[in-house]
Amino acid sequence: MAEPTVEPVLSEVYDQPTQGGRFGQFGGRFVAETLTHALDGLAELYAELKDDPDFKKELHEDLAHFVGRPTPLYLAERLTASLGGASIYLKREDLNHTGAHKVCNTIGQALLAKRMGKPRVIAETGAGQHGVATATVAARLGLSCDVYMGEEDVHRQSLNVYRMKLMGANVIPVTSGSKTLKDAMNEAMRDWVTHVDDTHYIIGTVAGPHPYPMLVRDFASIIGQEARAQMLQQVGRLPDVVVACVGGGSNAMGIFHPFIDDAGVALVGVEAGGHGLHTGAHAAPLNDGKVGVLHGNRSYLMSDDDGQVLETHSVSAGLDYPGVGPEHAYLKDIGRATYAAATDDDAMAAFRMLNRQEGILPALETSHALAWVVENAPKMPGQTILVNLSGRGDKDILTVADIDGITL
């Protein structure tokens, strides 16, 4: 692949996080004292390995031969023509082994677990994609694997639950709280605090305590690195806008990060608008939340006046989370990225449009980014939009059939 030929145009090169895992006022490490030692150890190991040639080679080989990278950059011609405005390029993360970008992070973290000599990994999962990606690498490396999943998500993502089981992982339904992703994360934290000596917790998004937001971003950044080089090679220029859906925000950080110093490239994250921002039934903390602390970091959070975390709603399990990665909070506050929201209905309409016009079933999470494209591309003639097609929608087929009133 061609090396990027465009120099950063900002005077200051973006270099976050700072000491202690801070992205401005966001991030940090708000955890039980018992975990600080493990987090220090993880941060130290990663600092040693991230530029280590052997580690990079091992990671690269796995990404090339096990995951199937680089993923293609694809011009969605019929969609572009039907919307009649901007040219739409899809970064095909749906073509990764296991069906989403999540595996890039789990491969990286599993290699870290191996270096630490930890025989067991745990994970939380919402849509199940991160759980599947964790179960996959655990099977490949011979690690024991427990995945926490909210009871409600176990029902709406039953295909992924079975996939995890087939690969030898133990899926533990979580019945506390709202029985979704946030509660799965609470339960994984409780497991980790109890088994911290022999267990590595593979957090699946750019949230959690430092160093996770940085670590997960770095492993996901292969998406943006490839896409940036592919744009230059295939299109001859950088995109005008990069769009990605944001739950915790790993696929968005992964594609945004290599573009942050390209001042001419707008970065747009799309949160889950659920039934609409005005209804309160959504999962859009960057649009309608306040600064708070949950799951180890300070960021925007959906919480009430008493600081209680609110239950969220989204048609997509993977976006159904009340918090968001701290680096997104920072990019919002410094104005480098903007964050929109798409409703369940808009996401479903975009999902169907991609089905019929491009022969692609995107994940319902990803469909939120596509909804932004459907709304905005017609207003952007002559411009270029790069969309992170973060995952495939096979896992969502039962949900979609249910919406259509069909029992499969």
Partner 1 sequence: MPKTNRSPGTGRIAQQFEILRSQGKKALVTFVTAGDPGLNYTVPAMHSLVAGGANLLELGIPFSDPEAEGPAIQAANERALANGMTLAKVLDMVAEFRQTDLATPVILMGYLNSVLAMADFPQRASQAGVDGLIMVNLPLEEGAELQQALRAVNIDVIWLVAPTTSDERARDVVSNASGFLYYVSLKGTTGSGSLPVDEVTERTAYLRTLTDVPLCVGFGIKDAETARAVSAHADGVVVGSALVQLMAQSADVASATERLRTATAAIRQGIDA
Token reading at 344: 């369940």
Residue 201 Cβ vs partner 1, minimum distance, rounded to whole Å: 12
Q: Which is nearer to partner 1, 214 or 241 (CB)?
A: 214
Helical ranges in 195-256 per DSSP H: 212-220, 222-230, 250-256
Could you say which of 102, 118, 182, 332 is catalytic? 102
Question: HEC string of 118-149?
Answer: CCEEEEEECCCHHHHHHHHHHHHHCCEEEEEE
The residue type of 218 is D
Q: Which is nearer to partner 1, 51 or 306 (CB)?
A: 306
From residue 77, how far is each of 89, 211, 359, 387, 393 by CA, in Å?
Answer: 9, 40, 12, 14, 20
Residue listed under structure tokens 């096979």: 394
The answer to whether 364 and 160 have CB atoms below 8 angstroms apart is no
102 an active-site residue?
yes
- Chain residues binding partner 1 by CB under 8 A are 20, 28-38, 176-177, 182-183, 185-186, 189-190, 193-197, 291-296, 301, 303, 305-309
Q: Which is nearer to partner 1, 290 or 356 (CB)?
A: 290
Residue 296 Cβ vs partner 1, minimum distance, rounded to whole Å: 7
Residue 198 Cβ vs partner 1, minimum distance, rounded to whole Å: 11
Could you say which of 299, 314, 316, 390 is catalytic? 390
Least Cα distance to 357 among 343, 370, 341 occurs for 370
From residue 166, how far is each of 149, 170, 250 by CA, in Å?
Answer: 16, 10, 26
SS3 call for 205: coil
The residue type of 199 is T
Residue 26 Cβ vs partner 1, minimum distance, rounded to whole Å: 12
Residue 306 Cβ vs partner 1, minimum distance, rounded to whole Å: 4
Could you say which of 87, 93, 124, 250 is catalytic? 124
Residue 295 Cβ vs partner 1, minimum distance, rounded to whole Å: 7
Half-sphere exposure at residue 232, Cβ-oriented, CA atoms within 13 angstroms? 14
379 an active-site residue?
no
From residue 287, how far is each of 328, 338, 367 by CA, in Å?
Answer: 12, 10, 18
152 an active-site residue?
no
Q: Which is nearer to partner 1, 139 or 193 (CB)?
A: 193
Catalytic positions: 102, 124, 390
